[in-house]
Amino acid sequence: MPAARTITRYLYAPFMLIGLNGLGYYFVVNGWSYVWMALPLAIAVAVAFLAERASPNYEQWNDSHGDGAANWIHAVVYEISNVNATLLIPVIAWLFQFEGLWPRDLPIIVQLLIAVVFADLGFTLVHYFSHRWPLLWRLHAVHHGVPRLYGLTGLVRHPLHQTLDLLFATGPLALLGMPIDVAVLLGLVVSIQLIVQHSNVDYQLGPFRNHMAIGQLHHLHHVNWGKEGDCNFGLFLTLWDRMLGTFQPEPSRRIQAHDMGVDEVPDFPKTYWQQLLFPFVYQPGAGKQTGLRPQPSAQAALDKTRALPSDSAAKRGRERPTPAE
């Protein structure tokens, strides 16, 4: 349906990033229960799935790859972890009372924008080092192992890696006294951003294309073409990538549907529990590895773990330069 495709291409990003985040903002500033934040998040997932059918980048990414159940579990665990982290904000404020460091007198929308910019710095740095340090890459590879990009891919994270994101991206903001209202909104904005960033939707960004870390810029980050995917680490903006020298606006060749995943692990585990244990059996830089299907016993997996390779070995092994997020 040409009309549906055209509408989706031009309205998908504004609706998701402005409309749904705006709905969450309305709930917060009007004193609604934080439980209502689940509504814009649920709408975001539903709209992403519909948009992926109306205007897909690749039809193949809409097909099941046997990873659906695991991805849904990842998504639920991700959001529960976000809620738990938000609940810690009052505790942090009580333990570390740095009065006056957070600009509470500013309008909440301005406070949210400040939080987004500096949280993006934390996310970018964690992401950057996760592609360079073998130990972090083991955890981050769970995200890159998904062989397609679609609505849930952004929420596929190893819980230990998500913990690092929370510590270094939102932790400093909490220490500075970020109000819980801002933290709740930030959690919603991050979740919707991850959905849009990874969704299989051919949408238009116009003049914002090279300034927002979504769309084709992030597709390039996920390619498994050696070091070429070691770029575009940002979550919201390309600002920090430009400062790190890792911004790359165009791929060297046309991206194909099969260019996702971790090259040295062609049969990436499909179940959630196997993916949880994956970092303990995966050996970055060891070449093609098949049959990485960990047994339920975590101890058995740990027994198989060998010494971590050097950074250079990790780079050789992750043919996607050890990709990129």
For every residue of 96-143, DSSP letters joined together read S--TTSS-TTS-HHHHHHHHHHHHHHHHHHHHHHHTTSHHHHHHHHHH
C-alpha span between 20 and 157 (Å, rounded): 23
The burial class, CB within 10 Å (0-12 / 13-18 / 19+), for 279 is buried
Q: Does 188 score more than 70 pLDDT?
A: yes
Q: Give the phi and the psi of residue 237 in degrees, each rounded to 5.
A: -125, 165
pLDDT of residue 311: 41
Amino acid 66: pLDDT: 87
**Residue 310 DSSP class:** P
Between these two residues, 320 and 211, which has the higher pLDDT value?
A: 211
Q: How confident is the model at residue 299, as a pLDDT?
A: 38
CB 135 within 8 A of CB 253: no
Based on the structure, what is the number of domains in the chain?
Answer: 1
The first and second tokens of residue 162, run together, are: 């998500």
What pLDDT digit, counting tens, does each position of 81-128 carry? 988 888 777 777 666 666 668 999 999 999 999 999 999 999 999 999
pLDDT at residue 227, rounded to an integer:
80
DSSP 319: T
HSE (side-chain half, CA atoms, 13 Å) at 51: 29
Residue 211 lies in a domain: yes
Average pLDDT rounded to a whole number, residues 59-63: 93
Q: Is the pLDDT of residue 303 over 60?
A: no
Instruction: Output 294 or 19, whichever has higher pLDDT.
Output: 19
Nearest in space to 252 (alpha carbons), one of 235, 233, 229 = 229
What's CA 56's distance to the chain center, in Å? 20
Query: What pLDDT score was predicted for residue 94?
Result: 63
| Domain membership flag for residue 123 | yes
Assign 3-state DSSP to the chain and report helix, strand, coil percentages, each to 5.
60, 0, 40
Phi and psi at residue 191, in whole multiples of 5°?
Answer: -60, -45
Please state which of the ranges 40-44, 64-68, 190-194, 285-289 shows the lowest mean pLDDT.
285-289
According to the model, what pLDDT value does residue 17 have?
97
11/1: higher pLDDT: 11
* 7 within some domain: yes
Instruction: Give dist(CA 41, CA 189) in Å, integer.
Output: 9
Token pair 């949408």 in the structure block, residue: 203
**For residue 324, is it within any domain?**
no
What are 239-286's pLDDT values in tens digits?
999 999 999 998 888 899 899 988 888 889 999 999 999 999 998 876
Confirm whether 44 is domain-assigned: yes
Lowest mean per-residue pLDDT among 22-26, 57-61, 123-127, 302-306 = 302-306
Residue 322 domain-assigned (yes or no): no
What 3-state class would DSSP assign to 187?
Answer: helix
User: Given this model, what pLDDT does residue 297 score?
Assistant: 40
Give the global pTM: 0.85
- Give me the pLDDT at residue 225, please: 79
Choice between 295 and 173, residue whose per-residue pLDDT is larger: 173
Answer for the pair 217, 124: CB distance below 8 angstroms, yes or no.
no
Q: Is residue 325 part of a domain?
A: no
Average pLDDT, the chain: 86
Q: Give ∠ CA 140-43-10 in degrees, rounded to 5.
A: 85
Q: Residue 94: give the domain boundaries.
A: 2-317
Q: How far apart are the first and last CA of the chain?
A: 32
Alpha carbon distance 304, 317 (integer Å): 19
What is the predicted pLDDT for the residue at 253?
Answer: 86
Strand partners, 237: 212
Assigned domain for 246 exists: yes
Residue 235 near residue 260 (C-beta atoms within 8 A): no
The answer, yes or no, to whether residue 317 has pLDDT greater than 90, is no
How far is the C-alpha of 171 from the C-alpha of 175, rounded, in Å? 6
When pLDDT is averaged across residues 292-321 and rounded to a whole number, the result is: 41
